[in-house]
Amino acid sequence: MLEGLTIGRHSASFPVIQGGMGVRISGHRLAGHVALNGGIGIIAAAGLALGSENYDGKNFFAADQQALKDELRKAYDIAPDGVIGVNCMVAVSNYDDMVTAACEGGAKVIICGAGLPMNLPGLTVDFPEVALVPIVSSVKAAELIARKWHKAYNRLPDAVVVEDPDTAGGHLGEKMEKIGSGDYDQYGTVRGVKNYFKEKWNLQIPIIAAGGIWDREDLQYALANGADGVQMGTRFVVTEECDADDAFKQAYLSCTKDDIGLIMSPAGLPGRAIKKNIEQVRQRDIDLDVYCPSACLKKCAYKSDRERFCIVHALERSRLGDLDTGLIFCGTNAWKADRISTVKEVLKTFFLNRNVP
């Protein structure tokens, strides 16, 4: 039952993907160590310019691309033979260039969320060994992507991540009013996506469940209910190797169930976060009259109308440990965190010591 995971041409010992977590929560350290220990490690491309030595306050996009290549190189220093990939958000302005940078930097897998990655196979056409994985929260979205990819590029996804809007951290692919309404069926969606590829395309690709996976029981439940693997974000935040400041991890350790809720991102998508400081997050940019510094999102309510807050800097502040005005994304399980462990320990508890490398 607990076998490895093969996505396209790349195989990992364990059916675990560490979800990309933007603005350097999952940088080279976390991704490298997950890959070293037998999972698939994912560097989040979003906002890497911030915190990079090449960023001079003006060259956001160029610094972003260089920083992604630097992070990939450092991750491979940790795990030279590991499966290391990149998460690219479709909603960011430099999405196309970051996909190219990921390929050029040696990513083995590209996972795309926050929008439907309709042109992804076109962007990666010179890198056929790179596995392509969209994130969806409905069978319909998977169908739209598959039809478009097949027609325009004669390619289909190498795997699909099905993300549960009722539990996952970060941006969510569902309308705010529908989240938590009880309408969404995560494992119905997982099986629906799996059947769609089997019946329509005679294709068996791994379907990965993301959202709300905290322990071995959750993993076993996911595998027993049709998933071929899981993607976890929140659980990997509270590891020594996670790239965030210790204060960010401590925010998970000290939060309660009631502190976790939904916010509206300036990107126009709902997101899940520790909500208790959200007024200070907003107020900070209003008080300081912050100007949109980098135009990092294609559509942004802050850029166009000064509504809400500048998300890339709000996430950067929390990553650096400013818990007063930083936005702390997390999944519904963050309150369960009671200690900082290592990536190896997490995988050992999931796989009961089965040869964690």
Residues 193-222 that bind ligand FMN (CB under 6 A): 210-213
Any contact of residue 160 with ligand FMN (CB under 6 A)? no
Any contact of residue 337 with ligand FMN (CB under 6 A)? no
Separation between Cα atoms, residue 89 and residue 245, nearest integer Å: 23
List Cβ neighbours of 210 (8 Å cut-off, separation of 6 or more): 17, 19, 135, 161, 162, 163, 164, 168, 230, 231, 232, 233
User: Residues binding ligand FMN: what is the number (CB under 6 A)?
Assistant: 30
Largest Cα–Cα distance of the chain, in whole Å? 56
For the bound state, the minimum distance from the C-beta of residue 331 to ligand FMN, rounded and expressed in Å, comes to: 3
For the bound state, the minimum distance from the C-beta of residue 212 to ligand FMN, rounded and expressed in Å, comes to: 5
Residues 42-71 that bind ligand FMN (CB under 6 A): 44, 46
For the bound state, the minimum distance from the C-beta of residue 16 to ligand FMN, rounded and expressed in Å, comes to: 11
Residue of the chain from 15, 20, 270, 326 that contacts ligand FMN (CB under 6 A): 20
Residue of the chain from 52, 100, 124, 167 that contacts ligand FMN (CB under 6 A): 167
Residue of the chain from 121, 170, 192, 326 that contacts ligand FMN (CB under 6 A): 170
The secondary structure of 241-293 as a DSSP string is T-SS-HHHHHHHHH--GGGEEEEE-TTSSEEEEE-TTHHHHHHHHHHTT----
| Extended strands (E) in the chain | 5-7, 10-12, 16-18, 40-44, 83-89, 109-113, 131-136, 160-163, 170-171, 207-210, 229-232, 260-264, 270-274, 328-329
Residues 101-130 that bind ligand FMN (CB under 6 A): 113-114
Any contact of residue 22 with ligand FMN (CB under 6 A)? yes
Residue of the chain from 31, 89, 156, 205 that contacts ligand FMN (CB under 6 A): 89
Separation between Cα atoms, residue 198 and residue 295, nearest integer Å: 41
The token pair that represents 233 in the structure block: 């974000």
Any contact of residue 90 with ligand FMN (CB under 6 A)? no
Interface with ligand FMN by CB under 6 A: which residues?
Answer: 19-22, 25, 44, 46, 87, 89, 113-114, 135, 163, 167-170, 210-213, 231-235, 329-331, 333
